[in-house]
Amino acid sequence: MYRPNTLKTRLLKGEKAIASWLLLNSPDIAEVLAHAGFDALVMDHEHSTQTYDSAVAAMRAAAASSVTMLLRVPDNDHIYLKRALDAGAEGIMVPMVDSAEEAEAFVAACHYPPDGFRGVSFPTIRASGYGYQAGEYLKSYKDNLLLIAQVETAEAINNISKIAAVDGLDMVFIGIGDLSASIGKLGQFEDKKLLSMMQKAERAILKKKKLLGGIAFHEEMASAMFKRGYHFVVVTSDLSLLRDNAQRMAGALRKKI
Q: Is residue 250 part of a domain?
A: yes
Per-residue pLDDT, 225? 98
Altogether, the residues listed in the chain come to a count of 257
Residue 47 is among the residues annotated as catalytic for this protein: yes
CATH number for the domain that contains residue 144: 3.20.20.60
Give the number of domains in the chain.
Answer: 1
- Residue 1: its pLDDT value, please? 74
Residue 66 lies in a domain: yes
Residue 1 falls inside a structural domain:
no
Domain of 113 in residue numbering reads as: 6-254
pTM over 0.95: yes
Contact 179, 198 (CB under 8 A): yes
Specify the pLDDT at position 205: 99
Catalytic residue among 47, 78, 111, 218: 47
pLDDT-flagged residues of the chain (< 50): none
Q: How far apart are CA 142 and CA 111, in angstroms?
A: 7
pLDDT of residue 238: 99
CA distance to 39, 56, 178, per residue, from 80 (Å):
25, 14, 22
Q: How far, in Å, CA of 94 to CA of 50, rounded? A: 16
Are 194 and 154 a contacting pair, CB within 8 Å? no
For residues 59 and 100, what is the distance between their CA atoms, to the nearest angstrom? 31
Q: How would you write 158-204 as a 3-class SS string?
A: HCHHHHHCCCCCCEEEECHHHHHHHCCCCCCCCCHHHHHHHHHHHHH
